[in-house]
Structure 1
Amino acid sequence: MSWILFTFIAAFSQSWRNAFQSQLSKTLNVTGVTLARFLWASPLALIYLVSLYQWQPVELPTFSGQSWFFLIGASVMQIIATALMVVLFKQKNFAIGAGLAKSEAPVSAFLGVLFFGTSLTLLGWVGVLVGGVAVLILSCPQGFRSISLNTAALGLACSSAFALTSLWIREASLSLQLPFPHRAAWVLFIVILMQTVILTAYLLVKDRQTLKQMMSKPKLVIMTSVASFVGSFGWFSAMSLQAVPYVKTLGQVEIFFTLLVSYFYLKESIPKKDIFALVLVGIAAGLVMWQ
């Protein structure tokens, strides 16, 4: 049941990372906010990997062509997903943007079953669908008609990109012939390093001004990276142990943390109807934990 603990760690950390990114999005462009997620996370991932080998030495991994496909695909897709989420933050308030992005769970269930050989129990499917309904309620503060077609399309694209990222991360981890914590740590480090290199190189060539702006906000950038590393550590570990749809459905408890952060840190109001959605999230979490 370790995947449950890792998922709660990830959900709590990700709610703070989203809040920090929401703050950064007010002064930085999409690429800068996206890089803030990865910039200082890769050194932390390397420290974690080295510490793991000091604690429990094992052999180094052998990466097949398939492993590299999953690693590179996950790295690029997560950059796209994060950029889309930042665009959502710029269109709607923080809680709505995060809510639209969290429809990832049902999307990952359908993609997993269709293309990745994932199998879900009946209770698992019910939990995923109940969680999806909760996300829709939270994403529509004035009813379903209140969200524009453009925002809905962005939300679906964002959640689909995150879902594909998660599925590829799990496949990359399973392709390595290593014990659980080591394979998850290798995938974590390589994916974050690739993302940092790609985005930093792009900004050095195309937009050095954004890098200068990031350096003017070191505290917020570091907090974003640290929260991102802890969140990714939780997600990568959980998805190495359990099927992605279950992890992401349980991970919707992030919505509870997000609403708390939205209310106390960002000073945004929370509609009373969201309480019902939170009850549904609780039901969905219970179903996937005990399926």
Structure 2
Amino acid sequence: MIWVAATVIAALAQTGRNAAQAGLTARVGTIGATAVRFLFGLPFAVIALALAAMFWQIPPPDLRAVGFAAMGAAAQIAATAFMLMTMRGQSFGVATALMKTEPVTLALIGALILAEPLGPARMGAILLATVGVVLSSGASWSRAGVMPVVNGVTAGALFGLSAIGFRGAILALPSGGFFLRALTVLSLTLAMQAAAMLIWLVWRDRAALRGIARDWKTSLAAGALGAFASLFWFIGFALTSAANVRTLALIEVVFAQILSGRVLRQKVRPVQILGMALIVIGVGWLLAVAAR
């Protein structure tokens, strides 16, 4: 069950990356802060790949692997754009709940594109955990507009599509163990995304690019944490279906609620406690199904 440990590590590292990026947003803008994870994450991935090449043969990506990686890279960038639109139109709780529908769409897309099994027990666990996220978010849905809801669900679906692209690229590699496959696809994907974001910033937002350069220390930390988190996400994708990985990742919602209650002294409502319980039950159910 290496994928379980890899997913938990990835979720924790992603929390650190988000914290680093949050501080950058006020100084370089949302697009600039988003670009940091790719521009400053790429050098760390390339260095790790170069070190690995000293001991093992790196699996050469073929056109199929490159195509899947490109799909994942583009979907992730598009998902980020829809996520930002959702957050502008709704509260953070509503936006988070909408985007966390990702495991459901991911499981459906995985069944269609990668022909991964979608049994009733596995789908039931995913749905239960997703409902738990919606309840635990504490979101108020009375003022939720149609377009923000559409944008949020679209963001979740695109994040799911990106995970399918990454897993497809990993599976398409002709050789190598799970670590080498994950590292190779990570480097390839980050190279595509860094190039795309750099072109966009030079063309449309040079002020953000200058801000990133001035704040290079924080950007470097965010990039390192982002590359580290992505590597472990990809390790998880190399070992099991993307839907399993992203459903297990929902457990971070429980950790965040516990942290906000104990450290920030925020009140947790009974419906949120119910939601956290459903997440735990759903994740436990998923692990039991995956272990068969």
TM-score by length of 2: 0.88
Residue 175 of structure 1 aligns with an amino acid whose one-letter code is: A
SS in 2 for 1:145: coil
Count, aligned residues? 287
**Alpha-carbon contact 1:16-1:261 (below 8 Å) kept:** no
Aligned pairs (5 A) from 1:113-128: 113-128=111-126
The more displaced of 23-32 and 247-256 is 23-32
Work out whether residues 3 and 235 of structure 2, in 8 Å CA contact, stay in contact via their aligned partners in 1.
yes
Instruction: Report the secondary structure of 2:250's partner residue.
Output: helix
What displacement does 1:101 show?
Answer: 2.1
CA distance in 1 between counterparts of 2:31 and 2:106 reads 25
Q: Is contact 2:101–2:156 with CA below 8 Å preserved after alignment? A: yes
Q: What residue is the counterpart of 1:164 in the other structure?
A: 161
Structure 2 CA distance for partners of 1:36 and 1:231, relative to 1, 3 Å: same
What SS does the aligned partner of 1:117 have? Answer: coil
Q: Mark the CA change 1:264 to 1:271 in structure 2 (over 3 Å): closer, same or farther.
A: closer
- Contact kept in structure 1, 2:6 and 2:232, CA below 8 Å: yes
| Match 1:246 to one of 240, 244, 247 | 244
Matched, 1:7 2:26: no
Distance, in Å, in 2 between the alignment partners of 1:113 and 1:100 is 21
Matched residue of 2:14: which SS? helix
Worse overlay, 91-100 or 126-135: 91-100
For 1:130-209, what aligned pairs fall within 5 Å after superposition? 130-139=128-137, 141-142=139-140, 144-178=141-175, 179-209=177-207
Percentage of identical aligned residues: 26
CA deviation profile, 1:18-40 (whole Å, cap 9, x unmatched): 34434433444332122022121
Q: String of CA shifts for 1:68-104, please: whole Å, max 9, x gaps.
A: 2111111111111123223334444555534432221
TM-score by length of 1: 0.88
Aligned to 2:273: 275
Aligned to 2:117, what secondary structure does the other structure show?
Answer: coil
Question: 2:56 maps to what in 1?
Answer: 57
Deviations 1:205-258 (A, max 9, x none): 222111122234334423322221122111111011101111111111121344
RMSD of aligned Cα (Å): 2.4
List per-residue Cα deviations over 1:137-178 (Å, max 9, x = no partner): 244522x33422222112111111100000011110001022
Change (3 A) 1:6 1:147: same
Q: Partners in 1 of 2:208 and 2:265 — Cα distance?
A: 28
Q: Which amino acid aligns with 1:74?
A: G
Are the equivalent residues in 2 in contact too, given 1:95–1:262 (CA < 8 A)? no
Asked if structure 2 preserves the Cα contact closer than 8 Å seen for 1:73 and 1:168, the reply is: yes
Task: Give the unaligned 5+ runs of structure 1.
Answer: none
